[in-house]
Every structure is written in structure tokens, then in C-alpha cells.
Amino acid sequence: MAGPRLGQAGLVFVIAAATFLPALHNGLLGDDAILLEQRLDSSRAPSVAALFRQSYWDDLHNSSGLYRPLSLAFLLAQRRVFGLNPLGYHVVSLLLHSICSILVLRLLWRLVPARAALAGAILFAVHPIHSEAVTTIYGQEDLWCALFFLAALSSAGWPSLPSRGALRLGGVALFYLLSLLCKEQGALLPALAVFRSQDRDRRPTDAATDRLEPRLFVLLCPVLVYAALRVNALGALVVPTGEASIAAGYPWWARANLVIVSIGTYLRLLVVPWGQTTYYGHLREALFGTPALEIGVVLVTVASFLRLRQTLGPTVADRAAVVLAITLLPVANVLPIGMVVGERCLYLPSVGLCVLAAAAYAWLEARSARTAIAALCAVTVVGIALSVRVAWRWHTPMRHWETTIADHPRSAGAHARLALLLLTEVGQKPGGPDDPRITRAEDAVRRALEINPRNSDAWEGKGLLALLRRDCAGAAAAFQQMGSRRREGREFDRLLQPCAK
């Protein structure tokens, strides 16, 4: 990688790091606190080896069905260096994102001309949909998974595969295994080898070298190793079960809606990243209604892809579609996971979008270089602006929930979690009976229960408000509505004392 290509790589690295630089001073968001303060506490994870014998959440969530020991090991190493200071973790995330952007650039060099590859890699570097993966600490699992997934593709020389050389093929298998141990999303990587074997543009002499054996079977070895480690830690648990599953108690038609809503929202966010949040509870109405918007997005996406396939050529379009499909399928709730939508899950699928964008740039440049450059500059500026906007809106947990409510006022969970955050602050720093935070929390709980009377976070907030009023009976009744969900990480033990007397 010398000369102009080295310059391209350096440019992509700088753009990727600069785009999310404003997030360096962001606080702990979402699962960050429970990961650093509880899951990776020395009493729970005494060694890296122990993480390979435990589920992702250990006994914090027994039915999560997640096994990501290598991600936890990387975070544990950072925990021992940085402690609870988020700055160091954010620096690591920026570096990971910048390296992944260079790997995307290397992938695109093999698919499109160099300038078009640069355009696609810049889109990956600045895409606002990467905000959750890059600006949160728990999002590092997606960054590490993508890093090793892309390294496997790079080592394989995809869209080709190494026809000989045990060392090179062994490197591909190793990177694939490391990706699996960070997160399961890249599990379908061998499908790229199958697709390559069907590539209609291969030369006749490639037929012998494109045989699936023994190369494809070598890629199955990491799956077997991962499966053995997983079974040892989780037993037969494959996906989240019970209350850890997003589809717990759903009728069959809601399960079908779940897949449509997940795919439709993911596709929309890839192209129109607006109203971003770490919690998509507002999609509940589409799940239990008619997901007309999501169905429309899927149909428009299919029609647009067919048109692009005619314009850009079937080879590059099909390769982009396969990358998108095999990385999106594991998080599309075909097998229900623990959430409807998680923006961080689009970190890998966005590579498919960038392949299409790079091919579109090459097509446009062949017709008007100035127009192509202007389009790239516009996309870069808009991408950076939107990414900075998201990082700023997520600067603190309070601001995150306030902006989520502003964007999605029908999100019961957002209202409830804002209330819990306010009550946590009251518990830590009481302000008296006229504390305006209590009034805000009451309004948020009321609104949450109006939207979804079964929201457990809202009932927890209602119970805590009752405790503040010394209404022990009301608190007990509210907590009873929470079901079996455990209240973890809350610091209200002292408020329970009046009820214990």
C-alpha cells in the first residue's frame, strides 16, 4: 500500500477519527455503566479465562443467550487501565473505527476504481448510523467484530478466496473465529465463499480454483470451535429466552411483524439516519398494528436495488447485496433477539451500502467528474454534521432520553427511563419535597403508562415515587406490576427502609 493508496488510507483514517471526535468527552450511556461497574467488576470477572466460561451478562441476565467473551476480555483489559473514566474507552473506539474504515477502503479497492473506493470508504467513515457503535462503550463489541470480519475478508482477498497457501487460509479462519468470539453477527461469512463460487464473472479457468473444498470446510472449523466454547458456557441456549427475548409472549402475527419492522427500520436508517436513538421502543405500535411504513421501505428498497443493478451492473450490485444480507440476517429477528432495532447492528451491514455507493460514484464520475466530486463533498459534509449532532445529543444520559422523547414522543420506554434517571439523581442528591425533578418524573411515568400500561420501567418508577411519599402499600403494588424483572443497578436501598420497619 504505497504512494496514492497510502495517502487515501491516511485520509480515510483522519476523516473517520475526526467525525466522532466530539464524543470523546461523552459520559456513560445505556449499558456502559452496568458493564463497567458490575459485569467487569473484579469480583465477577477475575480473569480473562473466566469470561470464556460465562455468558455475556453472567448471572445479571441468565437467559440473554449472548456469548461474546473476547469483547468482554478487551473491555476488561481497558477497565484495568482506564478504570471508570470513559475517555480512554472512547479513544480506543475512535481508533477501531478508523482502522475498520481503512479495511473497508482495502475491500473496495478490489471491487471498484481507486477514487470510487475512496468515496465509498469516506461514506463508511462519516455515516451517522455508526454513532452508537463508536460513541458508546458497549458498542465496542460491534467494532471488534467488524474489525476481525473485515480482516478475514482482506486476508482472503475477497471477492476471491485463497486457492492455495495453508498459512493464508489459516489466517482467514483465525480472524473469522475472533469475529465470532466478539459478536455473532458475522457468523454467515462462509456464505461469501459460496457466492464467489457462483460469480458469473469468473474466468473459465477459475472453475477448478473455485471448488468449495477444502477451503470452505476450513472456514467451518472456527464455527465448531465457537460452538464448543458456547455450549460449554451456555448449554443449549441459542437465542435469548423468556423476558430477555424481544418476542416473549408475542402471537405469530406479531412475530411476523417483528421481522418486517426490524428489516424495514434497518434499511431506512441506512439511507435516512434521522431520529436516531439507542432505544426503539416507539416501534411497539408498528409491531402490534400494521407496519405500513416498514413494508413500504422494503418494497422501495427492492425496487431501487433492481434499478441500480441494471445501471451499475449485476456483479458489484450482487456483491453489495450479499454483504448486506449475510450481516443483517442475524439481527433481523428471524430468530428473535433481545431488541427490535439496534443501530450498532448496522455497522457491518453498512459495508454493503458503501459498496453500492462506490460503484455509483464510479458510474457518475465516468459521466461528470465535477458532479461526482460535488456529490462526495456534500455527502461528507452532511455525514459529519449529522454524526456530530448525534454525539452531542447523546452527551449525557439525561440529554439522550430528552432528545429521544423529542423525536419519538410515543416511546413509553423513553419516558419511563427518563423518570428512572431523574429518580436516581434524587436518590443520590435529595432536593426536598418540592424538588422539580420529582414532578418531572411523575409526569414522565404518567405519560409512559398512558402509552403502554404494561411497561415495567414505568411501574418501577411509580413504585419509587410511592416510596418517596412513604406510601409502602402503593410501592408494593407498583413493584408487583413489574413481574419477575429484577431491578438491577438502582441505588434506592435506603428508600426501602421505611417499608422494612
CA distance linking residue 155 with residue 142, whole number of Å: 20
At 213, the pLDDT band (50, 70, 90 cuts) reads low
CA distance linking residue 280 with residue 267, whole number of Å: 14
Q: Is 320 buried (19+), middle (13-18) or exposed (0-12) by CB count in 10 A?
A: buried
CA–CA distances in Å: residue 87 to residues 78, 136, 218: 11, 11, 40
- Mean pLDDT taken over the chain: 88
Residue 91 cell numbers, joined: 479513544
Cell 458489484 belongs to residue: 316
Given 3.30.1490, 3.40.720, 1.20.120, 1.25.40, which CATH number is that of 411-500?
1.25.40
Amino acid at 445: V
- What's the pLDDT at 199? 54
CA distance linking residue 129 with residue 132, whole number of Å: 7
CA distance linking residue 336 with residue 249, whole number of Å: 12
For 256-270, write each residue's pLDDT tens digit. 999 999 999 999 999
Q: Are 131 and 391 in contact (CB under 8 A)?
A: yes
pTM equals 0.91
Taking phi over 0 as left and psi of -120 to 50 as alpha, with beta for the rest, 313 belongs to left
For 432-484, write each residue's pLDDT tens digit. 777 899 999 999 999 999 999 989 899 999 998 998 888 888 888 888 888 65
pLDDT at 392 over 80: yes
pLDDT at 200 over 50: no
Percent of the chain scored above 70 by pLDDT? 89
Looking at residue 36, the DSSP 8-state letter turns out to be: I
Percent of the chain scored above 90 by pLDDT? 66
As a dihedral over the C-alpha atoms of residue 354, residue 359, residue 365, residue 371, rounded to 10 degrees, the angle is -40
The alpha-carbon radius of gyration of the chain (Å, integer) is 24
Question: 75: number of CA atoms within 13 Å, CB side?
Answer: 32
Residue 261 cell numbers, joined: 419492522
CA distance linking residue 156 with residue 163, whole number of Å: 9
In sequence order, what are the residues at sequence separation of 6 or more whose Cβ sits closer than 8 angstroms to the Cβ of residue 34?
60, 488, 489
CA distance linking residue 212 with residue 216, whole number of Å: 5
CATH 1.25.40 range(s) for the chain read 411-500
- What's the pLDDT at 376? 96
- What's the pLDDT at 201? 47
User: Average pLDDT, stretch 238-264?
Assistant: 88
For 72-129, write each residue's pLDDT tens digit. 999 999 999 999 999 999 999 999 999 999 999 999 999 999 999 999 999 999 999 9
Q: Are 291 and 372 in contact (CB under 8 A)?
A: no
User: Average pLDDT, stretch 261-280?
Assistant: 95
